[in-house]
């Protein structure tokens, strides 16, 4: 294991500061109670080569196993679906004022006459647009669209970064579950060890704590909380507007903004909830540990 002393100290702090109550009584057993695990503790692991053949049985530390999972996760190609969704939502929200005003113009009949005039005499239309009054009005509209574009781009970019962090946590949890399965460990080129010894169980629990705390935690949780509160605020305003003016609800541009923004936020929130549920399910899956403890006892 080629890691710095700072990393070792950080791992020791992480694995020994985990809340024992989260293991639902498993750490309260006699052979695990009040025990501390160091990053230098070793367990016997089976290691496979790329061809899937058993190479040897080696002694690996907690950091060795953890870095093997981290390196495997780094090889997984990143998903860009939500980044594309964020870019699409940014452009749509930036174009809402233009689309709204164009819709009003065509609904009143002025848009069709204007389009016919442009097609009939393009030079006159360009001259009309370059007039000082029209130019200032057009410049104000374009400036507002650019400001909306930049604002929504930053907002959805932060949401995409949080989604990527959650997806990375899910990959950590996924490959962590593969450690105790020889078939999955061999398929993913990860070390494999059983939970048939008290030392192995301690390392397994400490590794779980280390992987759960890896990556941005507070910043990601703050982004998710911001997304949730923003969605609640948008939904509340929409409900009030719908109750006050049900027949004129879609005649206001701000309501179209809120509808589109709330729809995109709901997609991101659903994604966060799905990933969080999967992460907790994999990290809290203690059926393997219970089975091995029964065999150990």
Ordered by start, the domain boundaries in the chain are 5-296
Supply 230's token pair.
């923003």
pLDDT tens digits, residue range 92-106? Answer: 999 888 888 777 766
Confidence of residue 10 (pLDDT cuts 50, 70, 90): low
Nearest to 209 by CA among 26, 5, 6, 29: 26
176 with 214: CB under 8 angstroms?
A: no
Q: What is the DSSP letter of 30?
A: T
CA distance 22 to 4: 29
Q: What is the mean pLDDT of the chain?
A: 79
Supply 281's token pair.
């399910």
CB contact set of 87 (below 8 Å; sequence gap of 6+): 153, 156
Confidence of residue 296 (pLDDT cuts 50, 70, 90): low
Which helix or strand (DSSP H or E) is residue 46 part of? strand 42-48
Is the pLDDT at 33 greater than 80, yes or no?
no
What pLDDT does residue 129 have?
52
What is the Cα 59 distance to its own chain's centre?
A: 35
Confidence of residue 29 (pLDDT cuts 50, 70, 90): very low
């Amino acid at each position: 294991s080629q890691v710095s002393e700072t990393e070792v100290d950080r791992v020791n702090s992480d694995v020994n500061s985990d809340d024992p109550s989260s293991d639902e009584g498993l750490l309260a057993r006699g052979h695990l109670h009040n025990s501390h695990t160091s990053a230098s503790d070793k367990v016997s692991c089976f290691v496979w080569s790329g061809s899937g053949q058993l190479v040897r049985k080696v002694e690996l530390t907690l950091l060795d196993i953890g870095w093997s999972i981290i390196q495997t996760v780094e090889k997984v190609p990143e998903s860009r679906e939500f980044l594309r969704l964020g870019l699409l939502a940014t452009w749509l929200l930036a174009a809402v004022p233009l689309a709204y005003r164009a819709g009003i113009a065509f609904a009143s009949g002025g848009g069709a006459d204007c389009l016919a005039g442009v097609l009939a005499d393009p030079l006159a239309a360009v001259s009309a647009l370059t007039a000082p009054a029209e130019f200032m009005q057009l410049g104000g509209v374009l400036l507002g669209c650019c400001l909306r574009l930049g604002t929504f781009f930053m907002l959805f970019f932060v949401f995409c970064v949080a989604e990527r962090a959650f997806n990375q946590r899910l990959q950590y949890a996924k490959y962590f579950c593969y450690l105790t399965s020889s078939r999955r460990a061999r398929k993913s080129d990860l070390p494999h060890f059983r939970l048939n010894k008290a030392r192995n169980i301690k390392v397994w629990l400490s590794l779980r704590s280390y992987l759960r705390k890896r990556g941005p935690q507070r910043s990601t949780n703050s982004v998710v909380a911001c997304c949730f509160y923003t969605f609640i605020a948008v939904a509340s305003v929409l409900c009030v507007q719908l109750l006050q003016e049900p027949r004129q609800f879609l005649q206001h541009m701000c309501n179209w903004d809120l509808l589109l923004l709330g729809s995109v936020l709901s997609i991101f929130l659903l994604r966060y909830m799905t990933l969080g549920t999967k992460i907790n399910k994999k990290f809290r899956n203690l059926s393997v540990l219970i089975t091995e403890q029964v065999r150990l006892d």
